[in-house]
Homo-oligomer: A and B are copies of this chain.
Amino acid sequence: MLEAQKSDGTVGKALHVLDQVAEFCRPVRFSELLENSPFPKPTLYRFVQTLTNQGMLSYDPDRQTYAMGVRLVRLAHSAWRHSSLARVARPHIETLATQCGEAVHLAQLDNGHVLFVDKCKISDHFDTLAQAGKIAPGYCTGLGKAILAFMSFEQQQRAISHQSFVPYTPSTLTSSEELKRELNTIRESGVAYDREEHEQGIVSIACPIRTSQGSIVGAVSIATSTRRYSISDLEEYRPALLAVAENIGIEAEVWQVPSWN
């Protein structure tokens, strides 16, 4: 499912180990890593040692487990400031969140997955940091579909092939054919919906953030609970959402946020 090392030598392999540890979403033992690893025991062992030395992993001697290291949060600070849309988009999504009183999300795509780079919800403003960096699937979220719909054909093919099509809820799209049909609709209308496809009771309206040349850099969405509003209620914010996405796109271009085209 996840892969990234076509032929990037030792460094690529070591980074793959980092991904593996991250995927566990909890501190993990060496033997657990070994089971899911393409590398033989001593090789994996040395990678883990090196990464720990380097502060990319941290080792808990009591529990004998490895977790992601603090050095990453230092490095990511810089990433967040310079390579993500978040810094540029922050004021825009704050305004939008205040305006509609719902959770506003901002995402980029990272290797086929929707990467949340910022979140803004007026009622619980302390959740932000815990959310940034979180990943969600591309095929069953508003943000993901909005991004996928506006990629170039080759990128889209590649990204679609990375999707797992796990049926999270009854409304989840479960095949690349269904997804492609939906993406065509989205490309025409300019807006994507999440109709409880990822989580029961959560719906959202999302739209792509693009540069003036039309290259996709990310997506914004407004999410809400079905207990409060329906999809059609969210329609109300459509113009505001589109306007925000456009403004972010323009600013991102000026600030030269890297896109993937």
A interface residues, Cβ below 8 angstroms from B: 4-6, 8-12, 14-15, 18-19, 21-22, 25-27, 47, 50-51, 53-56, 58-60, 62-63, 67-84, 86-87, 90, 94, 108, 110-111, 113, 115, 117-118, 120, 125-126, 128-130, 132-135, 256, 258
Assuming the A-B contacts A8-B50, A8-B53, A130-B87, are A80 and B73 also in contact, with contact meaning beta carbons closer than 8 angstroms in the complex?
A: yes
Cα–Cα, bound, A80→B72 (Å):
8
Assuming the A-B contacts A60-B256, A111-B55, are A76 and B68 also in contact, with contact meaning beta carbons closer than 8 angstroms in the complex?
A: yes
A94 touches B11 (CB 8 A): no
A110 touches B74 (CB 8 A): yes
A133 touches B50 (CB 8 A): no
A26 touches B129 (CB 8 A): no
Cα–Cα, bound, A82→B18 (Å):
14
A135 touches B74 (CB 8 A): yes
In order of increasing CB-CB distance, the 3 nearest A-B pairs are A77-B133, A76-B76, A68-B79
Closest B residue, CB atoms, query A27: B82
Contact of A69 among B9, B54, B62, B79 (CB under 8 A): B79
Task: Find chain B residues with CB under 8 A from A83 CB.
Answer: 58, 67-70
Cα–Cα, bound, A52→B18 (Å):
16
Cα–Cα, bound, A130→B19 (Å):
24
B12 touches A71 (CB 8 A): no
Contact of A120 among B10, B115, B126, B130 (CB under 8 A): B126
Task: Find chain B residues with CB under 8 A from A74 CB.
Answer: 22, 110, 113, 115, 133, 135
B128 touches A256 (CB 8 A): no
Task: Find chain B residues with CB under 8 A from A117 CB.
Answer: 70, 73
> Nearest Cβ distance between residue A25 and chain B, in whole angstroms?
7
Task: Find chain B residues with CB under 8 A from A125 CB.
Answer: 125-126
Contact of A5 among B54, B80, B87 (CB under 8 A): B54
Contact of A72 among B60, B79, B90 (CB under 8 A): B79
Assuming the A-B contacts A4-B54, A15-B54, A15-B56, are A73 and B84 also in contact, with contact meaning beta carbons closer than 8 angstroms in the complex?
A: yes
